[in-house]
Structure 1
Amino acid sequence: MPFLRHYLLLDANEVGGITYRLFSDGQPGIVIPLTENMLISTSDYLFGQQLPSMFIYGQMSVYRDLKIQGQMALLVVVLRPFALHLLFGMPADELNDGIFLPTDLFGPDVIPFERKMAKSKNLHEVINTLESFLLERFQKSSGLNHDLLLSLELINRHQGLIKMENLLKELQVSERQLERHYRRQIGVSPKKFMNIIRFQHFLKIFSALSPARKLTAAVYQAGYYDQAHLHNYFKTMTGITPMEYQLKVNKLAINFMQF
């Protein structure tokens, strides 16, 4: 629980293919295919290549489309913001906007785990194998900076609306120190992380509105200056307008939808 946020399980059979759009919620993740006969494509990973047993993605600054053909069963493991740094011990900002195979980050140590995953007969076994492997890795990690953990708690409690000066006063650290901790252990600056959390807060408010209700109320409730500012940020983050997002019916999570 301290390292994993939640699981998403996708299960479908579409010969013509399905496209899923994923955009940042401040959390990296691991994608594990549960079937062998599907084709997968992203801007980094093309159709026709052999599908890996799993791949890992870092913090995202732009949306990413995942295109899948054939019978599909896919497990998405959504991690806590700092989890990749704990797993690999490398600066998290080196993983931003990237898709990585297990051996890219774990090295040959991951091969026995991949073989065990391949032999797992059902979802329960896959999750047990994954959690055992991750827990072993986390136990070997050097731990997290206390100021970073407290700042995450404060940012989430204030839904991204806390001022930087108030955050620094509460932590009693300099902005430069906090920035260094964030880039190394989370991958983005504190201000960018606050923007992501505030945007997620807006999406929760906005998703609860009926299409007939105006966008303005949600914009100001989430702390944005005006509708135009939010509209531009929304299009950059998701690739669609707020109204297009609101009318999308196939949302698997606030930041994950079927196209």
Structure 2
Amino acid sequence: MQIKPASHIAHIVRHYLVLNGALPRAAWFRLFADGNTGLVFNTGNASLRQPGGRETQQRSWLYGQLSGYRDLDISGDLHWIIVVLQPYGAFHLWRMPATELTDRLFPAQELLGSSIDEISAALLSTPDLNNCINKLNAWISSLIDKKNAPEPLLQQAVQLINSAEGSMPVHALLKELKVNERMLERKFKQATGISPKQYSGIVRVNASAKKLQHKSGSLTAVAYDHDYFDQAHFIKDFRKYTGITPWQYQHSVDQLALNFIKF
């Protein structure tokens, strides 16, 4: 379930995502890139294990941009509230170069220290979801640097790429923004963790995934709708970011979110 943030923080928070479900045994889930960073608050007893790692139960996780996909082994009662930030959201809130978070999923305390514990405890002690969202709105509002808003160039670049569903060529983006490629790439990477071209590719795959999710047309039609040269190119690009084919995604049974599926 997606919930909109308070309007005054919408330039930092894209939406809240609430995931619930009891897992009788450990199950593998695939998370693939969606162009956003975020915070996961674990308000249940779910444990998480990444490939090659140990099972661990944390109250909060922080994740950066994914350049591809990540498989997660999850067990227990899944009760997560995910703060899905705008692509540049983590950079604005914590002023850490976003490239240092790329392809990372780790306990939030490692970066935020004990400051994350208070809001985690508040969410645990608040059974009502609406009150949880209100507390998150207030907490994030307190973190926002009101003297230094996200750079308009970045906001406009993200908006243009999203509006075109990732199909706007870089040269057209540069022309619209009236900026040179080197400057845009440097600023975009520092704030989002990836290049404008990578972000466009991720947005395009997610836009096509949404069509597949709603079974809107054949694979060929979806490919052409999103400016892929042909179906083969579409399949190759989709697999690059998700690890599966469009057909496999379209027929996956358990989709907890657009970019989060159970195997």
Please indicate, yes or no, whether the TM-score normalized by the shorter chain is above 0.5: yes
Indicate how the Cα distance of structure 1 residues 109 and 170 shifts in structure 2: closer, same or farther if over 3 A, else same. Answer: same
Q: CA deviation at 1:89?
A: 0.5
1:32 maps to amino acid: F
Q: CA deviation at 1:75?
A: 1.8
1:41 equivalent to 2:49? Answer: yes
SS at match of 1:68: strand
Aligned positions of 1:1-259 closer than 5 A: 1-36=10-45, 38-43=46-51, 46-47=54-55, 49=56, 51-139=57-145, 142-209=148-215, 214-259=218-263
Indicate how the Cα distance of structure 1 residues 141 and 106 shifts in structure 2: closer, same or farther if over 3 A, else same. Answer: farther
Task: Give me the whole-angstrom Cα distance separating, in 2, the residues matched to 1:216 and 1:196.
Answer: 19
2:51 maps to amino acid: S
Task: Give me the whole-angstrom Cα distance separating, in 1, the residues matched to 2:219 and 2:247.
Answer: 8
Indicate how the Cα distance of structure 1 residues 35 and 214 shifts in structure 2: closer, same or farther if over 3 A, else same. Answer: closer
SS at match of 2:44: coil
Indicate how the Cα distance of structure 1 residues 102 and 207 shifts in structure 2: closer, same or farther if over 3 A, else same. Answer: closer
SS at match of 1:127: helix
Alignment size in residue pairs: 254
Return 5+ residue gaps in structure 2 as ranges. 1-9
Indicate how the Cα distance of structure 1 residues 148 and 14 shifts in structure 2: closer, same or farther if over 3 A, else same. Answer: closer
Task: Give me the whole-angstrom Cα distance separating, in 2, the residues matched to 1:153 and 1:221.
Answer: 19
1:245 maps to amino acid: Y
Q: CA deviation at 1:140?
A: 5.2
Q: CA deviation at 1:255?
A: 1.3
Task: Give me the whole-angstrom Cα distance separating, in 1, the residues matched to 2:143 and 2:53.
Answer: 27
Runs (4+) of structure 1 moved beyond 4 Å?
none
Structure-1-length-normalised TM-score:
0.89
Question: What percentage of residue pairs aligned between the two structures are identical?
Answer: 35
Structure 1 residues 75-84 or 107-116, which shifts more?
107-116
Q: CA deviation at 1:256?
A: 1.6
SS at match of 1:139: coil
Q: CA deviation at 1:223?
A: 0.6
Task: Give me the whole-angstrom Cα distance separating, in 1, the residues matched to 2:160 and 2:243.
Answer: 29
2:64 maps to amino acid: G
Indicate how the Cα distance of structure 1 residues 7 and 221 shifts in structure 2: closer, same or farther if over 3 A, else same. Answer: same
Task: Give me the whole-angstrom Cα distance separating, in 2, the residues matched to 1:218 and 1:111.
Answer: 44
CA offset digits 1:110-166 (Å, max 9, x no partner): 343344344334433433332222111113573222211111121112111112112
CA contact (8 A) 2:41 2:120 kept: no
Structure 1 residues 114-123 or 63-72, which shifts more?
114-123
Return 5+ residue gaps in structure 1 as ranges. none
